[in-house]
Amino acid sequence: MLLKKNTLLFGELVTFPHTLFVLPLIFSGYFIAIQEFYLLNFFLVLIASVSARTIGMLLNRIIDLKVDQLNPRTKSRPLPSGRVSMRLAKVYLCLSIIIFLVSSFLICDFLIYLALIPIVMFYIYPFTKKFTFLCHFFLGATLSLGPLAGGIAATCSLKSFFDTWPLAFFTLFWISGFDILYALKDYSHDIKEGIYSIPSFFGKKVSINISIYCFLLSLIFIFIYILKTGPTIFQFIIFSIISMGLFVQVYNSKKSDFSFFEYNSYIGFLILILIISDILLI
């Protein structure tokens, strides 16, 4: 019973369901670049991906503790509410870093050096909200490493960049766009507490327009990928669904109960379906 309670609490601390919108991007890059499928390699990439996402969430929770304690939307989370101690959160963080580095090394020994890049970027991200409204784009850039990392993990080579770069740029602008919309939830709080974001700096209307431009750019890069690999009718159908999905959330951004992470996890899986369909049809 205690184990179940602690597991659920840990899942709430790192918002584990949010991992679902990141994993498809990493594995999209993985399947784009893969030449031979090895089950062990696949599971190591899965472990590395989940642990990397956990590191990012824990660093964000730990560094932003005081901010979250003041925010009505986040003060009930496990760390701000005191249900999880700072000491325990740091233990989880250390374990996640160890798992990430070990799994990266087992995938390909030189990956242990590249693995330091996302850790550093995860650490920097919470601080960007304290001095620049471009924090959304820094988050997008951080998560855009996912498809690139997936490609490297599949081939143990940097040459996979030539295949995965459109997906990386899609991720950059997609994540940036929906994070801008997500920041609308904290519009009043961010202005009051001096938190930097595009909504708190430019206002709601301009923020929504910037988000739309980000989504348009993200779609351009997916379209480039489709043209690059040889378009199919099925891919255009998936592309159309993704396009509609991105702009539906713009419409729903004014709803306080709209779940951006859950909604965008579907977008991530649609991208994965698009990538896999291309591979199966080759």
Exposed e or buried b per residue across 66-101, where buried means at least 16 C-beta atoms within 10 angstroms of its C-beta: ebbeebeebeebbbbeeebeeebbeebbeebbebbb
Do 122 and 14 touch, CB atoms closer than 8 A? no
Identify the pLDDT of residue 37: 87
Identify the pLDDT of residue 136: 97
Structural domain for 257, as ranges: 2-280
The list of the chain residues with pLDDT below 70 reads: 1-6, 17-18, 255-258, 260-261, 281-282
Identify the pLDDT of residue 260: 67
Identify the pLDDT of residue 131: 92
Q: How many domains does the chain have?
A: 1
CA distances from 31 to 40, 54, 227, 260 (A): 15, 23, 18, 26
Identify the pLDDT of residue 265: 80
Per-residue pLDDT tens digits for 34-91: 988 889 999 999 999 999 999 999 999 999 999 888 888 888 888 888 888 899 999 9
Identify the pLDDT of residue 255: 66
Identify the pLDDT of residue 226: 92
Identify the pLDDT of residue 257: 60
pTM: 0.92
The label of the residue with tokens 């969430």 reads: 57
Residue 102 buriedness (CB in 10 A; 0-12 / 13-18 / 19+): middle
The label of the residue with tokens 């062990």 reads: 40
CA distances from 39 to 43, 44, 46, 107 (A): 6, 9, 11, 12
CATH number for the domain spanning 18: value is: 1.10.357.140
